[in-house]
Amino acid sequence: MTKLRHYDNLGTARFITFCCYHRYQLLNETLAKKSFIRNLIKIREKYNIKLYGYALMPEHVHLVLYPPDSLRLGKVIGQLKALTSREMLAYMRNRQSGLLEKLRVVRGGREICTFWQRRCYDHNCRTSEIVNEKIEYCHKNPVVRGLVKSPEDWIWSSYNYYLGNDDVPIRMDDIE
């Protein structure tokens, strides 16, 4: 399989999608979603990333963000995934989750558990129209999947922030 190409330093917003290992629904629990949000906030602050939209789905994540020009986004997404993975795998070990067996892989000759698939989808949003289109996609995704009837019913996306609600898991940045 060829490696997906990622382009940095483009001065554009990015639409990123990445999945849980084998698309298992590892983000179903509120604890997992809160862990992801907490680590997204850390990474966002550490690297001065602007966040425009997101959706946490049971087995994947969508982010619409704007990285600083000097940032290698793949490395940062890797850090975000690693932080969340460590927390959630530790939680699963403590609970003696049977799911851990399904997450075992051999890498570099050693057996490890993995939470995320290795690659991600990365789309450059060259216009504000495309940025808005990707944010709308994030907001509609839980409805299309049948998780809720209306976007405002899914608290794990940026939709309620854009409605003006203050009680949201994470605040968005203004789109430039």
126-166 pLDDT, tens digit each: 999 999 999 999 999 999 999 999 999 999 999 999 999 99
Instruction: Look up residue 146 and give its two tokens.
Output: 């049948």
* C-beta atoms surrounding 46 within 10 Å: 10
- Where do the domains of the chain lie? 13-162
- pLDDT at residue 100 in the model: 84
- pLDDT at residue 31 in the model: 94
- pLDDT at residue 6 in the model: 52
Please state which CATH class domain 13-162 belongs to.
Answer: alpha beta
- pLDDT at residue 4 in the model: 45
Burial state string for 69-107 with b = 16 or more CB within 10 A and e = fewer than 16: eeeebeebbeebbebbbebbbeebeeeeeeeeeebeeee
- The pTM of the full predicted model, rounded to 2 decimals, is 0.91
pLDDT beneath 50: ranges in the chain: 1-4
